[in-house]
Amino acid sequence: MGSTLVLIFLGVFALAIVQAVVRRKRNPYSEVDYSALPEVLRTELERVLPGYQHRLSRITRDGDDARLQGDYLGKPVRIEGNFDKSGAMIEFEVDTEGSNRAGGGVAPEDLPEPAQREIDRVLGDAQPQFERSRITGGTSSGGESHFEVKGTAGEWKWEIAVSGDGRLIELEREKRRGRS
């Protein structure tokens, strides 16, 4: 019975990989100039990462997925934007480093002030309606404290990771399912 389940799992996994490869071949990425990216992506990127230095941008032929690389505050940063068929953004991700940020629960009043200011800045207009669902904190492999806040605001789910001194580490904003 166990080996049958493993074979089924592997078959489903293989099918998913084949579908992803076929989909990408039909909708490949092309390198484009920053100005050719959707305005909604550029606007959000410039709001969240003021001073961002752009290096590379790629977008799919259908315009549903854009990936960028650049520098923010002297560190490499990767950005991804996903769009629905109308061109509205449905997901926005920023990753400034790939370190392990596992940690334990943190009370809202225990967030350092610089970290809370950065979270509020990143939330922007969504800050007043933001409902936290979870806060975790820990220490990176380099010894730096970090905090991750998850929650919702309107039609968006948010995950924001910041350092204790208020530097954005990672951001993921995604439209909630079943919302328009």
Q: What is the pLDDT along the chain (180 residues), one digit of tens a residue?
A: 677 776 776 676 666 565 555 555 676 889 999 999 999 999 999 999 999 999 999 999 888 999 999 999 888 999 999 999 888 999 999 998 655 555 688 888 889 999 999 999 999 999 999 999 999 988 877 778 889 999 999 999 999 999 999 999 999 999 987 654
pLDDT given for residue 110 in this prediction: 87
Return the C-alpha torsion angle 6, 7, 10, 11, nearest 10.
Answer: -150
Q: Report pLDDT for 12.
A: 67
Q: What per-residue confidence (pLDDT) applies to 161?
A: 92
Q: pLDDT tens, 5-14?
A: 767 766 766 6
**Is residue 38 within 8 Å of 81, Cβ to Cβ?**
yes
Q: How much is the pLDDT for 21? A: 52
